[in-house]
């Protein structure tokens, strides 16, 4: 599964990167975030475009798993 590292980025960049990466990888991806707003906003985007999103803590940040 493709993974993108959005740690250190502030919104809306993690959402924009997720959107772009999802276009080329329609089966899904993992997004690493360490920003509170990104932790909320990336799943919102994924769900709005018809994916399922789950969030788990990882290394002081979060891993957002986006799947069909």
Partner 1 sequence: MADVRLTELVRSSGCNAKLPPGDLNEVLKSLPRTVCDRLLGGYEKSDDACVYDVGDGKVLIETVDFFPPMVDDPFVFGEIAAANALSDIYAMGASPSVALSLMCFPSCLDLSVMRSIMLGAISKTDESGCVIAGGHTISDREPKFGLSVTALADKDSVWTNHGARKGDFLVLTKKLGAGVMMTAHKGGETDAAEAIESMRTLNKRARDIARPLSVHAATDITGFSILGHSSEMADGSDATIYLSLGSLRFFSGALGFARFGFLPEGRYTNEDYLKDKVDFDSRIEKAYIDLLFSPETSGGLLLSLREEDAGKFIEEFGDDASIVGRVGERAEKSVVVSL
- Residues of this chain that interact with partner 1 (CB under 8 A) are 10-13, 15-16, 35-37, 40-45, 48-49
State which residue, 10 or 25, has the beta carbon closest to partner 1. Answer: 10
State which residue, 30 or 40, has the beta carbon closest to partner 1. Answer: 40
Closest separation in Å from C-beta 16 to partner 1:
5
State which residue, 1 or 16, has the beta carbon closest to partner 1. Answer: 16
What's the rounded Cα separation, in Å, for the pair 30 and 59? Answer: 15
Residues in the chain: 68
Helix 36-48 to helix 13-24 angle (10° resolution) is 40
Which run of H or of E encompasses 60? none
């Amino acid at each position: 599964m493709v993974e993108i590292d959005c740690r250190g980025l502030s919104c809306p960049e993690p959402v924009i990167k997720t959107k772009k990466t999802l276009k080329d990888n329609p089966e899904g991806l993992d997004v690493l975030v360490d920003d509170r707003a990104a932790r909320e906003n990336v799943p919102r985007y994924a769900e709005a475009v018809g994916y399922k999103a789950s969030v788990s803590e990882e290394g002081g940040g979060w891993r957002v798993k986006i799947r069909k």
